[in-house]
Each structure stands twice: as structure tokens, then as C-alpha cells.
Amino acid sequence: MKMYILIRAEAPLGLAIVAAAHASLAAYLKFQDDPDVKAWLAGPFRKVVCAVTAQQFEEAKAFPDRVVLTESAWEGREIAVAFKPRAEWPKAFQFYRLFKELKKGPLQFSKKTPSAADLQGRGEAYFWVRGGSFNRPLIVQASNGVRTIEGKPEPELNFTFGANFPPNLWSSQLSEYAALRGLEWAGPIPEA
């Protein structure tokens, strides 16, 4: 028996830690009278905390017996989803990345916007970004894509910032937003 807690990967680390604690308690309180929860409490009551993309987060909310948490310090956005403890889990859960501390060492920021080569052969990667209108560094998802320009498909990176930006921005669109000008990038963040 184990409880899964999924945290949005782009959430600031401090808020993510608090969200995991709140999510565990919220799921327990919501399902405390369920026989599976009682069996979970009698055993080694395991919890698995994973960092997920915005898309994985939305897809996971379709699974039953869950509680979704928002964070007022993160503009009221959804930050975590916790699931009632159970013995058997849908297959998708085995592919979620465990939430782990980043490797120590100074981040090397650069004004160079990431390119497909920076993804190091992966379909997606996460980068630290600072500057623009952000008052602290945040994590941004970058993924390979193909954008049609004047009828021609062109490979280009797509970025998911969250906050008050469209869900998918092409690298060539970043300069269109005053809040995203002058950004500095670090990464990609190593896979855990």
C-alpha cells in the first residue's frame, strides 16, 4: 500500500515541500474512513512524491480518489494532487519522476536561450530561468516541437512557463513578452 503525491515540477522548491506535507494530510483526512487507508496506516504507510509536468498533472487528475491542492502563495494555482493509498496503481504512475533534490553546485546562467541540442537527445528537459519580470528563479519546461511558418514545418523549442503566460510559447515568441525579455538560463536540470 502506498500514497502517491504529485507536485508540479515548475513549483518553487519551498512551496513544493509544503504542498507535499499538506497533500498527504488532505488525502488522509478525505479518505480516513476508507478500509484501504486503515490498512495503509497499519502497515509501513509509504508515500511516493513525484515531480510531474503540467500535462502529466492534468492527466493524473482524471484518476479517481484524489484531492487537488492550490497554493495561495503561487497565485492560487494548483500545485499538488494526492491519491488515496492503494495496493495497485494505474500504469502511468510508474513513469512519474521521483521528486529529488537537485545536485549541488553553482548554477551557470547564460543569456543564450536553450536550443534542441541542449535537450541532450531527450524530448523534453527542465531549465532554471531568471530575469525578466521574475523576482526569483523558476523552472521552465522545454520540449521539442515543429512549428509551421509560412506553410513550412520548422523544428523549434516550445516552453511552458506557467504563471500568467500562454501554456506553450515557441522560442521565437519569447521576445514578444516584455516580462520575458533579458532572461538568463541554466540547465538542463539533471534527471533524478
Task: Note whether 90 and 146 are same-domain residues.
Answer: no
**Nine-digit cell string for 121:** 537527445
Give the pLDDT confidence score for residue 176 in this predicted structure.
86
- Domain membership flag for residue 6: yes
**Nine-digit cell string for 80:** 499538488
Task: Note whether 71 and 123 are same-domain residues.
Answer: no
- Domain membership flag for residue 111: no
Model pTM? 0.58
- Domain membership flag for residue 127: yes
- Domain membership flag for residue 66: yes
- Name the burial class of residue 31, with classes exposed (0-12), middle (13-18) and buried (19+) by CB atoms within 10 angstroms of its CB: buried
**Out of 22-31, 41-50, 154-163, least confident range:** 154-163
Task: Note whether 92 and 164 are same-domain residues.
Answer: no
Task: Note whether 93 and 121 are same-domain residues.
Answer: no
Helices (H), the chain: 13-31, 35-42, 54-60
pLDDT band at 105 (very low <50, low <70, confident <90, very high): low
- Domain membership flag for residue 191: no
> Among 80, 103, 75, which residue's Cα sits nearest to residue 18?
80
pLDDT digits (tens, 9 = 90+) for 150-187: 888 888 888 888 666 777 888 888 888 888 888 999 88
Between CA 37 and CA 40 the distance in angstroms is 5
pLDDT digits (tens, 9 = 90+) for 106-131: 778 889 899 888 887 778 888 888 88
User: Structurally, how many domains does the chain consist of?
Assistant: 2
Report in angstroms the alpha-carbon separations of 123 from 38, 116, 157, 171, 190. 41, 9, 10, 15, 14
